[in-house]
Structures are given as structure tokens and as C-alpha cells.
Chain A
Amino acid sequence: MKTETIQIVDHGRGAQLSTGRITVQDLLPYYRDSASNEEIRRWIPALTDDEIAVLKDYIRDHYEEVLQTEKTIKAYHDRMRAAQPAWTRANEHLSIEERRILLREKLAQRKAVDNGADDSPG
């Protein structure tokens, strides 16, 4: 039987498992929380104990580098999020309940239009 050695590789998406697409950065929040393997698998079911061990070892051995990479990624996404068009933030000043009401009104309007279309003479 062929057994695949689990390694940390970089195929162009950052440090990740050789056996799947889960990255070191994916595991970092759980590592920081000292989550058990069972807890980690609750959120990332694909991971085996061996894979989690390899990821944890890598984080432990390269901790400062991994944290620096996380900061760089976060800064990038913060910039990207801030640069999103204004319409993506249009309802953020409203409460969740107000947003829910607005969505229901839009749905009702859509249904009314659809019903109107259905009633139109053919």
C-alpha cells in the first residue's frame, strides 16, 4: 500500500498541506485557541490527525513568520474591503431588523411584479 508523506508545500497559494488545500493560515486561528483536533475537525472535517500535527508543527517552528504572513494578508483584505464600491455598504447604517424589513419589502415588490406579469394578457 502506498502511503503519502504529509509535507508543507507552497504551490502558489502560500504554505499548505501537500495532501490537500488546507493552508497553514487556515489552521492558525484554531492553533491560537489551542483547539483540540476534534474541535478543529468540527470546522474543517477534511483534516486527519496526522495533517493537523504537521500543520501545528509548522506553525510552532515558524511562528513569527506565520504571524507576519497573517498580518500581511489581513492588511491586504482590509485595503480591498475599504476599496469596495459604496453600494456594498449602503445598508450598514441600518439595524439588522431594519435590513430585514427592507428585504421583505423588496421581496413583496418582486412578487407583485411577477404576479403582474402573470396577469398580463397573453
Chain B
Amino acid sequence: MALTILLDENIDGYAEYLSGFVFSFAWSDISSSLGVRIVNFQEVGLTKGTSDEQLWELCQHQRFYLLTDNRNQDKPASLETMIRTRTLSDSLPVFTISDIQRFRSQRDYVEALVAKLLEYLMDADNLSGVGRLYLP
């Protein structure tokens, strides 16, 4: 079964960049065996202006792991509020990049992020209901 990572719109352009690491020679045997797939907004039919609530519902319904960064505010319509109020025992977690600037510029940081992402996905059956998980 595929494990689909959906990139949030604010990091949509990182799909190719992240794939370059996840499917590099060093990690490809692991990521391929796990069935990892990295997709962006357009590929799953999402459009500009999709709300956090719609995004949350789509991810849970389609069983996508949302990957976002940590620039959301803790306000009523935020993703953070969705995670806090809508997470059920079978809800998929939301992966959050802790530092987008380091992610963009530091290779060691990206390698650590990929290691952690694949460690989580290796135990995907045990991630339901945990809410937000930070990378790395």
C-alpha cells in the first residue's frame, strides 16, 4: 500500500527537492519498499484557497500524510486547531518541518529529516491519533 505524503501549498515547490533526497541512492530501497509517494496540491486536485479544514478532511479521507511547516498561527480556523479538535484515534498525523530555512539550505538537516520521516512511516500503523509530528 502506498504511503502518500501531500505537501502543503506553502511548500508545494519542495516536492522535487524532497523527492531528490527520499528517492536518492542512499534511501531509495527503504522509501520504495515502504511505498512512499510525494505529491503536491495540483496532483491531488486541490486549488488555491483551500481552507485548513478542507485540507484536513481531505487528508483524513484520502489517507494522505500532510507535510507542512511550522508557520501556522494558533487561531480558530488554523491547521493547529484542526489537529487539536478533530484528531481521532484513527486520524493520520500531520508532519511538520521544524525549520524551513535549514531545510532549504542544509544537506545534513534534510538527511536527518528524511531519516525521521522514514522511521515514522516504517511504524505507520502506530501513528494514528498522535496529532502533529515534527521533522527532524
The complex places the Cα of A44 from the Cα of B40 at a distance, in Å, of 11
When the two chains form their complex, are residues A43 and B104 in contact, meaning their CB atoms are under 8 A apart?
yes
Query: Does B90 make an interface contact (CB < 8 A)?
Result: no
Contact of A44 among B9, B76, B133, B136 (CB under 8 A): B9
When the two chains form their complex, are residues B73 and A21 in contact, meaning their CB atoms are under 8 A apart?
no
Give the shortest distance, in Å, between A72 (CB) and chain B (any CB). Answer: 8
When the two chains form their complex, are residues B10 and A23 in contact, meaning their CB atoms are under 8 A apart?
yes
When the two chains form their complex, are residues B10 and A100 in contact, meaning their CB atoms are under 8 A apart?
no
Residues of chain B contacted by A12 (CB below 8 angstroms): 75-78, 81
Query: Does B89 make an interface contact (CB < 8 A)?
Result: no
B71-109: which residues lie under 8 A (CB-CB) from chain A?
A: 71-79, 81, 96, 98, 100-101, 104, 108
| Size bin of chain B's contact surface | 35 or more
When the two chains form their complex, are residues A23 and B71 in contact, meaning their CB atoms are under 8 A apart?
yes
Residues of chain A contacted by B20 (CB below 8 angstroms): none
| Size bin of chain A's contact surface | 35 or more
Query: Does B30 make an interface contact (CB < 8 A)?
Result: yes
Query: Does A99 make an interface contact (CB < 8 A)?
Result: yes
When the two chains form their complex, are residues A46 and B75 in contact, meaning their CB atoms are under 8 A apart?
no
Which of chain B's residues has its CB closest to A72's CB? B73
Query: Does A107 make an interface contact (CB < 8 A)?
Result: yes
When the two chains form their complex, are residues B12 and A14 in contact, meaning their CB atoms are under 8 A apart?
no
The complex places the Cα of A100 from the Cα of B78 at a distance, in Å, of 35
Residues of chain B contacted by A10 (CB below 8 angstroms): 75
A21-B48, A46-B12 in contact; A104/B75 too (CB < 8 A)?
no
Query: Does B50 make an interface contact (CB < 8 A)?
Result: yes
A44-B13, A46-B9 in contact; A103/B49 too (CB < 8 A)?
no
Residues of chain A contacted by B57 (CB below 8 angstroms): none
When the two chains form their complex, are residues A76 and B74 in contact, meaning their CB atoms are under 8 A apart?
yes
